[in-house]
Structure 1
Amino acid sequence: MNRLLVPSSALLWGLQIAFLSPALALILVNLYGATTADVGWVLAVYNASGFAASLLIPAYADKKQDYLGPMLVCGALTVVLVVALGVVTTLPLATVALVVIGGPAGVGSSMLFAHLRHSGARPADIVNTRAIVSVAWVAGPPLATLIIGWFGNRAILLAIAAVAVLNIASTTALMRHRQRLARASGGPPAAPVHDGPDVGRLAVVLITAAFVLLQAANATGMTMLTIYVTETVGLDVLWAGIALGVAAALEVPALILIGRLTERFSSFGLIATGCLAGIGYYVGLAFVHEPVALIALQPLNAWCFAGIGGVGLTLFQQIIPRPGLSTGLYLNTRRIGSIVSGPMIAFGSLTALGQRGIFLTCGAVTLLGLLTIAVASQTRSRGTTAD
């Protein structure tokens, strides 16, 4: 049973996010009468709240060296959030609930990965746990839309609450109980094992900037794929859904495989392979004209995500000794990357290639991210040699 606690927690946290994220816009429109512009503004301030919370809460957890306590609180806040969204009747009140409660509640999954790092988990274990979250994302959005279609918009709030309660009762609380028993028995406190390269502040800044670029390219590719397939390639929207489904299904084995490879190869090298796969995917996508080629490119997409989403997380945990801060900073590269994706879409679409230019821009940005990581790696090597 103990072996199932962390995987179960990862699955439940993944389901909470996979239920809420795709359904949130529908909830805002159907329950509170939000316009498209309103949805944009609400999501912007909601994500800003999440950005701040993913820095402040991990900092507190690092100071206390306790990550399960904040994770338990985040689970409880999820329940409070869905109750608030179910009770309020106006968009301003719903926005307040999302900002004040939803932002901090969303930090819970990052606390799980910080706890794993603090407990001395290997990079392979952390990547495997990340793969379980991807499993939740394969099943979560279709299941959420099914619940909404059958039972209405408020039903998804009940589903999220049920998952959160199950998470609190069956996983987080049990892990916290086990931790207390271990401390009461006189065992040494858990501490992360330093198994990564020694880097300076310049290298950390460069790696963070590189991941913002990589995350921006990934967010742009996901955002634009459906529109691109239907408007530019001229295929039925079904093919866009198939492509996204194939990529999501391949993410899990890609993460498991790359997790095993972390035992043999450096994080920098594995991330570089992910970047090269991403460049190949975006360039190939820019010249797609038929569905077979579209589907054939998805393994490259999956490997790119495994490098950025799996090994990237462990790299941040290796180069920054504070588990909470490192995990929160990594997750915020995704948030900032999503913001950067907007100008990327605008710039790419203004080229002579139209929407195809957007994916060439993604390839160029991924190449820039790869070069930045290479510079950071060399900075680290020179610093280590000087020591």
Structure 2
Amino acid sequence: MTHFPLPRLTEPAHPVKHYLPLLQPAALLTYLMSFLIGSLYAQTLPTLSVYIVERYQITPFYLGVFFVSLAASAMTVSQIVGVLSDKGMSRLWLIFAGMVAGALACAGFALSAHYWQALACGVFIYSFSAMTLPQIMAQGREYADQHFAAQQVPLFNAILRASFALAWVAGPPIGFYFQHTLGSINHYLSLSIAYLGVGIMAWFLLPKVQRAKVKPSKVQAPNVGAPPVSDDNHSGRIPFNLKLGFVACAILFGVNHSYIIALPQLLEQHLHIPIYNTGYILGAAAALEIPIMLLGGWLAARLPVLPLVRIGAAAAASLYLGVWLANSLWQLIALQIFNAVFIGFVAGLGMTWFQDQMPHLTGTASSLFSNVINLGNILGSLLIGLIAAWIGYQHLYLANTLCALIAVALLFFCKNK
């Protein structure tokens, strides 16, 4: 990728005016829809583990099976849809369809009388909602490439991700509050209506993007004995550099997923803290993520992205080590600064780095990054189902620390592009 140097006297005299295009109405509507979609996920996913455990009285193993199955199906759907979207399928239609799937799934969760019914609902319906996030990110990237200068794109992506993260400030506390006051059934029925409403809003409010038709590049055979020349960006072939980053990010999102899912059980079983405090912990992390995510976008326009991602990975290792050693609520809240750096630099800039490796296939790259998260969810669910069932929820975070350190090492083998 092209890296922009530190500011010089030749840069625009009014930097604020230089970034005013990022506040035009179409951009603001894109941020708004990212926020609304994120708010639904923030109220669904953190409460889902509590709902599954309490309603069906399952063990950590079956909780792991539920989230492994959910993540595997979501990963399959997201990648297939990403390829189809790059071939011309309407991203707006896909975003709307994902929200409808979320509405049907939440209604299904509320009405499922048995664990296996809820599992089937998650695998065959809710997994289709996973295509929404990568598609709105791909839609946003294409819109930014057409309307903004190149150095403004990383900041636009960061604001778009920050809008999604902002939803997690109030989303988990609101989700746990409604789950506690309304009951799980009424809570998920309300979410079903909200998913449908946001889907309709996305259809009418998201800006239309003029899609460029990209034809696959022809492979030419130059001299006899020479390797054929091909363009990975157009052929859809994933560069090795990106494969290495994919593995590292999958590990990072895996331990992050197990951290979120196991946190309510850690509070209740080990620290003897009321379980609703999970929402305040996650909300504190999200509040800190916003300025760090925007800072990351500003830095990405001036510095290479990959070193910033490495910093975020190191922060994740610090977080899990701290959680393993923590013995009070205030310590867990204070540790959220590390969580914020991880989300701000890895989740916030990771999408940009993936798209930079495949600049002509933003849908595929965005879905690939989304599938990093889904694959991470599988790994995290396995950690819960195996490690937590074996050594308990507290020592799960020691295993998370070791896994995060492995991911940090892998990122140092990646190259800046």
Which position in structure 1 is the counterpart of 2:349? 311
| C-alpha distance in 1 between matches for 2:309 and 2:397 | 20
**Mapping of 1:130-209 within 5 angstroms?**
130-175=161-206, 178-179=208-209, 189=212, 201-209=239-247
Given the alignment of the two structures, is residue 334 of structure 1 paired with residue 373 of structure 2, yes or no? yes
| C-alpha distance in 2 between matches for 1:363 and 1:79 | 36
| C-alpha distance in 2 between matches for 1:125 and 1:190 | 23
Which position in structure 2 is the counterpart of 1:251? 289
Q: CA deviation at 1:265?
A: 1.3
Structure 1 stretch displaced more, 310-319 or 89-98: 89-98
Contact 2:248–2:411 (CA<8 Å) still a contact in 1?
yes
Structure 1 stretch displaced more, 127-136 or 117-126: 117-126
Q: CA deviation at 1:235?
A: 6.8
Which position in structure 2 is the counterpart of 1:195? none
2:353 partner letter = L
RMSD of aligned residue pairs (Cα, Å): 3.6
Residues 120 and 52 of structure 1, relative CA distance in 2, 3 Å threshold: same
Residues 118 and 251 of structure 1, relative CA distance in 2, 3 Å threshold: same
Query: Which of 28, 32, 36 is the equivalent residue of 2:58?
Result: 36
**Mapping of 1:1-387 within 5 angstroms?**
1-25=25-49, 34-36=56-58, 41-64=65-88, 66-82=90-106, 94-121=118-145, 122-175=153-206, 178-179=208-209, 189=212, 201-225=239-263, 228=266, 236-237=273-274, 243-288=281-326, 293-321=331-359, 322-341=361-380, 344=383, 358-377=396-415
Between the aligned residues of both structures, percent identity stands at 22
Residues 36 and 266 of structure 1, relative CA distance in 2, 3 Å threshold: same
Residues 101 and 360 of structure 1, relative CA distance in 2, 3 Å threshold: closer
Q: CA deviation at 1:313?
A: 1.7
2:376 partner letter = G
How many pairs are equivalent?
361
Contact 2:388–2:395 (CA<8 Å) still a contact in 1?
yes
| C-alpha distance in 2 between matches for 1:349 and 1:34 | 17
| C-alpha distance in 1 between matches for 2:120 and 2:274 | 36
In structure 1, the residue corresponding to 2:125 is in which secondary structure? helix
Residues 12 and 369 of structure 1, relative CA distance in 2, 3 Å threshold: same
Contact 2:94–2:132 (CA<8 Å) still a contact in 1?
yes
Runs of 5+ unmatched residues, structure 1: 192-197, 382-387
Residues 160 and 245 of structure 1, relative CA distance in 2, 3 Å threshold: closer
Contact 1:18–1:140 (CA<8 Å) still a contact in 2?
yes
Bigger share in helix: 1
| C-alpha distance in 2 between matches for 1:275 and 1:247 | 16
TM-score (structure 2 length as normaliser): 0.73
Residues 45 and 169 of structure 1, relative CA distance in 2, 3 Å threshold: same
In structure 1, the residue corresponding to 2:303 is in which secondary structure? coil
Contact 1:120–1:190 (CA<8 Å) still a contact in 2?
no
Q: CA deviation at 1:67?
A: 1.9
1:123 partner letter = P
Contact 1:11–1:132 (CA<8 Å) still a contact in 2?
yes
**Which deviations, in whole Å up to 9, do the C-alpha atoms of 1:117-149 show, x marking residues without a partner?**
222351221221111112222222332333344
In structure 2, the residue corresponding to 1:375 is in which secondary structure? coil
Contact 1:349–1:357 (CA<8 Å) still a contact in 2?
no
2:126 partner letter = G
Residues 285 and 26 of structure 1, relative CA distance in 2, 3 Å threshold: closer
| C-alpha distance in 2 between matches for 1:293 and 1:90 | 37
TM-score (structure 1 length as normaliser): 0.78
Residues 173 and 77 of structure 1, relative CA distance in 2, 3 Å threshold: farther
Q: CA deviation at 1:276?
A: 2.6
Q: CA deviation at 1:111?
A: 0.7
Q: CA deviation at 1:83?
A: 5.1
Q: CA deviation at 1:52?
A: 1.0
2:342 partner letter = C
| C-alpha distance in 2 between matches for 1:306 and 1:26 | 26
**Which deviations, in whole Å up to 9, do the C-alpha atoms of 1:184-235 show, x marking residues without a partner?**
xxxx8499xxxxxx99722121111111121223233334445556666x57
| C-alpha distance in 2 between matches for 1:355 and 1:151 | 28
| C-alpha distance in 2 between matches for 1:165 and 1:173 | 13
Q: CA deviation at 1:114?
A: 1.2
Q: CA deviation at 1:278?
A: 2.5
